[in-house]
């Protein structure tokens, strides 16, 4: 791939992660759960987005990130307090930033007005102009740094060599167009800091040589006697004649990095100096003049040397003190309960608190990270999926092998059985481990919801707080991704329909701010996600009336509270007379339900009038495996998901009752439940089977509807690997997917809800042709 394109992809991927970090950080700051580093992490996120955006010349993004960063910096440096108002602007800015990132990625245009509004708000907060400031280039002298130098440095040897030759003759550039050349005299006296920061006078001279002819004279007059020589000192100075076509600016650029770390003077020579500079004799007086000029500052220079001496004295105890400090850290970690001794050690280390603290921080910091962030590897998802497929094959193959061994009658011989059992466990372990690779916490998904709540709240004029729980609960990546749409809708719904208006809440003695609670948890091999609101709850009378009006139920239907609540999942049901611009985007709860079902999940609702509603989604941990019951119907092997089955029974003839011409019900402990012969509804056979000769599976649909399915026999109960039927064929009503059995043949996995839905339509479907014929 084109590296730039790849880089761009990396950038947008990283942006996604940074935006999540940004939002979660801001929310933590908002609800008071922020830790010390949070504000810095938040700042870094915006900063990194800005940095990357700059590299790709994404100007809108840079502009917005810049002002955002500037305002965040105010908070970070505690010049501004993170009041709720400030946090609100920050969170909304995050939304805009996220939109800008997406727009940049998709090459779309952005809502300039919206981002301008926030740019203005941010600017108002930070009190800066919205135009990116060019910081002034004023150079300030700074204090020397104390560093625990204890070894001689090669630099000085180099300088000594330069010393002996008296001049560094850099390569000369004999350009022909001498007439355009100007000459400059540069007086350059490095300070010790220049070397301390790993800059090199010789490299600067080398750099200068690129500009033209360089003639450098070294001034060794400041070099002290050997006794007084500080190995870290800077005693040399240079006078450099440069003849170049470049201007003074370019020359001073060379010294950009050492500006302030040296005495520097760049003087324009006369045009004639072109000749003069080449002349050794003429150069001499220049050097002398320079030395004279330097003499004035000689006092200053010696002062400097004094400072250095002092500095060295300061440094020595610091270096010594470092040892006990480190020892202290070790002691602490070994025996944290011994308190008296470490205190002494602290006191002993007191002369050099800085050094001690630093190393202690570094040590503990290292330990912390080792615990908090285990090493990770980024893997292409395609590779993981390939691995998962292969492991799926392995599971099937293992089952086939076991079947072969049984068929060959060798299962009980020579340890084959125990070997196969071992293989089965290993295979299952591998499968679970591989599946875990795809697992991902719902955190990112939940964080997206906070934005949805903000938007829904501002659109409805309600004050809403989103509380999340169990963000680290892991689910298959695909489940997380495909949950985004239904969950978004449910959250909007909770804000829009679930919560009452602020006035109404206050009138009923509730807090003005409504609360939407979003939680995730593992429960008996499944993931349960709940959306809870503290609103008014389902208005059952109204729901029932709407269902009757829309002819979804008959007028005299007697429904339990739970049945009424579940009416909202019916296709064509919408409680809002006037379609609001939020929830009513042509999507009803039936679509949510279907999306959840497509993931192998169930959705249920429970509601308490006046207290609010709970929508509960139960999802499989993975989309790849399913616990199923292997059954036989009309010579075909099929799998019924275990989650749907309540019980299995062998009915007596007396339990079976016929209603009308062919509709049958079965009595289970006094309840009459419709009996469905899968064989005939799926057209595997033409005549309805005799229920007493087979087995009945009592099942429950996601909506809580009960039904009894007739099968010929039950073979087995096992985990099966889900295979797509849609990939090469399409969807079949009543069939959820396919799987491969131990004998290598395909078995279809039944979609219990689909079958029951089919059955309820079936009578009219069968009657029509009769009528038509007649």
Residues 389-408, interacting with other proteins (CB under 8 A): 389, 392-393, 396
Nearest distance from residue 672's CB to other proteins, in Å?
A: 27
Whole-number minimum distance, CB 618 to other proteins, in Å? 27
Q: How far apart are CA 290 and CA 266, in angstroms?
A: 12
Binding status of residue 149 toward other proteins by CB under 8 A: yes
Q: Alpha-carbon dihedral of residues 742, 746, 752, 756, nearest 10 degrees?
A: -140
Binding pattern for the stretch 227-256 against other proteins, x by CB under 8 A and - elsewhere? ---------------------------x-x
Q: For other proteins, which stretch binds (CB under 8 A), given 223-231, 267-275, 563-571, 735-743?
A: 735-743
* Residue 535: both structure tokens together: 């609103």
CB-based burial label for 145 (10 Å; 0-12, 13-18, 19+): exposed
Cβ-proximal residues to 570 (8 Å cutoff; 6+ apart), any chain: 547, 552, 590
Query: According to CB under 8 A, which one of 113, 142, 523, 653 is a site residue for other proteins?
Result: 142
Shortest CB 226 distance to other proteins, Å = 22
Q: Give the DSSP letter string of 462-508.
A: --EEEEEE-TT-EEEHHHHHHHHHHHHHHHHHIIIIISPPHHHHHHT
CB closer to other proteins, 428 vs 465: 428
Among 250, 416, 663, 735, binds other proteins (CB under 8 A): 735
Q: Does the footprint of other proteins cover residue 731 (CB under 8 A)?
A: yes
For residues 546 and 553, give the distance between their C-alpha atoms in angstroms, rounded to a whole number: 9
Least CB distance from residue 361 to other proteins, whole Å?
9
With contacts defined by CB under 8 A, name the span among 144-152, 438-446, 479-487, 519-527 that binds other proteins.
144-152
CB of residue 251 vs other proteins: minimum separation in angstroms? 14
Q: Which of residues 407-466 bind other proteins (CB under 8 A)?
A: none
Q: In what order do the strands lie in the sheet with 514-523?
A: 464-469, 514-523, 526-533, 612-620, 602-608
- Is 380 a binding residue for other proteins by CB under 8 A? The answer is no
* Minimum distance, C-beta of residue 561 to other proteins, in the bound complex (Å): 36
Residue 343 contacts other proteins per CB under 8 A: no
Residue 355 to residue 350: CA distance in whole angstroms = 10
Q: Which of 506, 745, 765, 766 binds other proteins (CB under 8 A)?
A: 745
Element (H, E) at 18: helix 3-31
Q: Binding residue for other proteins (CB under 8 A) from 30, 215, 261, 474?
A: 261
Token pair for residue 456?
């829904």
Q: What share of the chain is helix, strand, coil (3-state, %, to 5)?
A: 50, 20, 30
Q: Which helix (H) or strand (E) holds 421?
A: helix 416-438
User: Which positions from 309 through 328 interact with other proteins, judged by CB under 8 A?
Assistant: none
Beta bridge partners of 631: 638, 714
Residue position matching structure tokens 């050099």:
352
How long a stretch of residues is the chain?
Answer: 774
Binding-site member from 36, 137, 249, 292 for other proteins (CB under 8 A): 137
Site for other proteins in 3-42 (CB under 8 A): 3, 6-7, 10-11, 13-14, 37, 40-41
Q: From the list 464, 723, 753, 756, which residue makes contact with other proteins (rule: CB under 8 A)?
A: 723
- Provide the Cα torsion 759, 764, 767, 772; round to 10°: -140
Q: What is the crossing angle of helices 381-407 and 416-438, to 10°?
A: 160
Binding range to other proteins, per CB under 8 A, among 115-123, 265-273, 459-467, 731-739: 731-739
Query: Sign of the C-alpha dihedral, residues 46, 51, 54, 56?
Result: negative
Cβ-based nearer residue to other proteins, 402 or 725: 725
The nearer residue to other proteins, 210 or 465, going by C-beta atoms, is 210
Counting contacts by CB under 8 A, is residue 506 touching other proteins? no
| Residue choice 683, 769, 771, 773 for contact with other proteins (CB under 8 A) | 683
Select the residue interacting with other proteins from 725, 736, 752, 756 (CB under 8 A).
725
Return the residue of 1, 5, 140, 299 that touches other proteins, per CB under 8 A.
140
Write out the DSSP string of 595-651: HHHHTT-EEEEEEETTTEEEEEEEEES-SSEEEEEEEEETTEEEEEEGGGEEEEE--
User: Token pair 């309805």 is at which residue?
Assistant: 688
Distance of CA 317 to the CA centre of its chain: 46
Q: Which is nearer to other proteins, 254 or 274 (CB)?
A: 254
Measured from the CB atom, the residue of 42 and 589 that comes closer to other proteins is 42
Q: Which residues contact 248 (CB under 8 A, 6 or more apart)?
A: 184, 266, 268
Residue 14 CB, shortest distance to other proteins, in Å, is 5
Under DSSP, the state recorded for 267 is: E
Q: How far is the CB of 532 from other proteins (least distance, A)?
A: 34
CB 519 within 8 A of CB 532: yes
Binding mask 606-645 vs other proteins (x if CB under 8 A, - otherwise)?
------------------------------xx--------
Q: At what angle do helices 59-76 and 84-106 cross, to 10 degrees?
A: 160
**Closest separation between CB of residue 744 and other proteins, Å?**
6
Question: Residue 450 is encoded by which pair of tokens?
Answer: 């906070």
Minimum CB–partner distance for residue 484 and other proteins (Å): 24
- Binding other proteins (rule: CB under 8 A), the pick from 35, 117, 124, 145 is 145
- Binding to other proteins (CB under 8 A) within 169-228 occurs at 193, 196-200, 203, 207
Joined together, the tokens standing for residue 209 give 């040589």
Residue (46 or 328) nearer to other proteins, CB: 46
Q: Which residue has the tokens 């987005």?
A: 49
* Both structure tokens of 629: 């019951």
Q: Which residue among 106, 138, 296, 549 contacts other proteins (CB under 8 A)?
A: 138
Q: Does 341 bind other proteins (CB under 8 A)?
A: no
Among the residue ranges 78-86, 161-169, 257-265, 480-488, the one whose residues contact other proteins (CB under 8 A): 257-265
Alpha-carbon gap, residue 64 to 99, rounded angstroms? 11
Q: Is the Cβ–Cβ distance between 632 and 711 less than 8 Å?
A: yes
When asked if residue 154 is in the footprint of other proteins (CB under 8 A), the reply is yes
746 binding other proteins? (CB under 8 A):
yes
- The encoded tokens of residue 200 equal 């090199």
Stretch binding other proteins (CB under 8 A), from 107-115, 553-561, 579-587, 742-750: 742-750
Task: Among 80, 99, 245, 257, indicate the residue that binds other proteins (CB under 8 A).
Answer: 257
Cβ partners under 8 Å of residue 329, min gap 6: 359, 360, 363, 364
SS3 738: strand
Does residue 365 interact with other proteins by CB under 8 A? yes
- Considering only 267, 729, 763, 766, the residue that binds other proteins (CB under 8 A) is 729
Residue (531 or 738) nearer to other proteins, CB? 738
Rounded to a whole number of angstroms, the minimum distance from the CB of residue 768 to other proteins is: 15
Residues 39-98 close enough to bind other proteins by CB under 8 A: 40-41, 43-44, 47-48, 50-52, 54-55, 57
> Toward other proteins, which CB reaches closer, 282 or 389?
389
Instruction: Convert 175-236 into a string of H (helix), E (strand) and C (coil).
Output: CCCHHHCEEEEEEEEECHHHHHCCCCHHHHHHHHHHHEEEEEEEECCCCCCCCCCCCCCCCC
- Min dist CB 152 to other proteins, Å, is 11
**How many of the chain's residues bind other proteins (CB under 8 A)?**
84
Look at residue 740 and give its three-state secondary structure: strand
């Amino acid at each position: 791939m084109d590296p730039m394109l790849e880089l761009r992809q990396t950038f947008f991927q990283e942006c996604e992660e940074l935006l999540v970090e940004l939002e979660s950080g801001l929310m933590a700051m908002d609800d008071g759960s922020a830790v010390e580093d949070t504000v810095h992490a938040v700042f870094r996120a915006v900063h990194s987005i800005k940095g990357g955006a700059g590299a790709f010349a994404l100007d809108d993004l840079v502009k917005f990130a810049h002002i955002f960063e500037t305002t965040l910096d105010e908070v970070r440096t505690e010049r501004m307090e993170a009041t709720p108002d400030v946090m609100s602007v920050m969170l909304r800015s995050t939304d805009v930033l996220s939109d800008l990132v997406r727009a940049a990625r998709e090459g779309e245009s952005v809502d300039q007005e919206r981002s301008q509004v926030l740019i203005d708000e941010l600017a108002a907060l930070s009190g800066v102009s919205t135009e990116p400031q060019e910081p002034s280039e004023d150079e300030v002298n700074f204090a020397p740094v104390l560093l625990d130098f204890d070894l001689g440095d090669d630099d000085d040897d180099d300088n000594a060599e330069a010393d002996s030759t008296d001049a560094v003759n850099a390569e000369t550039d004999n350009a022909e167009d001498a007439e355009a050349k100007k000459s400059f005299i540069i007086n350059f006296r490095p300070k010790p800091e220049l070397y301390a920061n790993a800059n090199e006078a010789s490299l600067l001279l080398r750099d200068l040589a690129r500009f033209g002819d360089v003639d450098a004279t070294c001034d060794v007059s400041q070099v002290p006697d050997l006794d007084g020589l500080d190995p870290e000192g800077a005693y040399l100075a240079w006078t450099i004649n440069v003849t170049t076509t470049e201007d003074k600016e370019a020359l001073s650029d060379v010294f950009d990095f050492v500006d302030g770390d040296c005495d520097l003077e760049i003087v324009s020579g006369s045009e004639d100096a072109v000749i003069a500079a080449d002349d050794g004799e003429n150069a001499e007086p220049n050097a002398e003049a320079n030395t004279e000029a330097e003499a004035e500052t000689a006092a200053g220079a010696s002062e400097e040397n004094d400072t250095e001496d002092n500095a060295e004295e300061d440094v020595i105890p610091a270096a010594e003190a470092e040892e006990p400090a480190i020892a202290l850290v070790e002691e602490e970690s070994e025996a944290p309960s011994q308190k008296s001794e470490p205190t002494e050690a602290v006191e002993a280390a007191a002369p050099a608190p800085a050094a001690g603290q630093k190393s202690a921080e570094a040590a503990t910091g290292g330990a912390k990270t080792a615990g908090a962030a285990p090493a990770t590897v980024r893997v292409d998802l395609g590779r993981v999926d390939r691995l998962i497929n292969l492991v799926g094959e392995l599971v099937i193959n293992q089952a086939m092998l076991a079947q072969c061994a049984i068929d060959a009658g060798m299962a009980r011989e020579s340890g084959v059985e125990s070997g196969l059992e071992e293989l089965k466990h290993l295979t299952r372990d591998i499968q679970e481990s591989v599946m875990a690779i795809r697992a991902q916490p719902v955190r990112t998904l939940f964080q997206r919801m906070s934005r949805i709540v903000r938007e829904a709240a501002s659109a409805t004029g309600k004050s809403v707080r989103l509380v999340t729980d169990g963000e680290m609960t892991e689910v298959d990546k695909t489940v997380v991704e495909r949950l985004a749409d239904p969950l978004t809708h449910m959250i909007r719904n909770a804000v829009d329909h679930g919560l009452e208006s602020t006035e109404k809440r206050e009138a009923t003695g509730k807090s003005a701010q409504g609360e939407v609670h979003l939680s995730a948890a593992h429960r008996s091999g499944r993931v349960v996600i709940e959306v809870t609101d503290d609103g008014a709850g389902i208005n059952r009378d109204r729901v029932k009336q709407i269902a009757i009006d829309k002819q979804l139920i008959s007028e005299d239907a007697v429904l339990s509270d739970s049945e009424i609540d579940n009416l909202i999942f019916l296709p064509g049901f919408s409680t809002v007379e006037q379609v609001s611009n939020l929830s009513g985007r042509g999507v009803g709860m039936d679509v949510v339900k279907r999306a959840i079902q497509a993931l192998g999940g169930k959705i249920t609702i429970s509601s308490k009038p006046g207290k609010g509603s709970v929508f509960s989604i139960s999802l499989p941990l993975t989309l790849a495996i399913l616990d199923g019951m292997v059954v036989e119907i009309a010579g075909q092997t099929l799998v019924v998901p275990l989650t749907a089955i309540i019980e299995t029974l062998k009915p007596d003839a007396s339990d079976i009752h016929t209603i009308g011409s062919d509709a049958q019900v079965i009595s289970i402990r006094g309840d009459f439940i419709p009996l469905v012969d899968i064989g005939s509804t799926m057209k595997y056979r033409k005549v309805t089977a005799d229920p007493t000769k087979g087995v009945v599976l009592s099942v429950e649909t996601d909506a809580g509807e009960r039904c009894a399915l007739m099968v010929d026999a039950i073979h087995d109960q096992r985990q099966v690997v889900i295979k797509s039927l849609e990939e090469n064929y399409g969807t079949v009503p009543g069939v959820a997917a396919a799987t491969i059995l131990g004998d290598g043949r395909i078995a279809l996995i039944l979609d219990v809800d689909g079958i029951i839905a089919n059955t309820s339509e079936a009578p009219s479907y069968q009657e029509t042709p009769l009528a038509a014929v007649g």
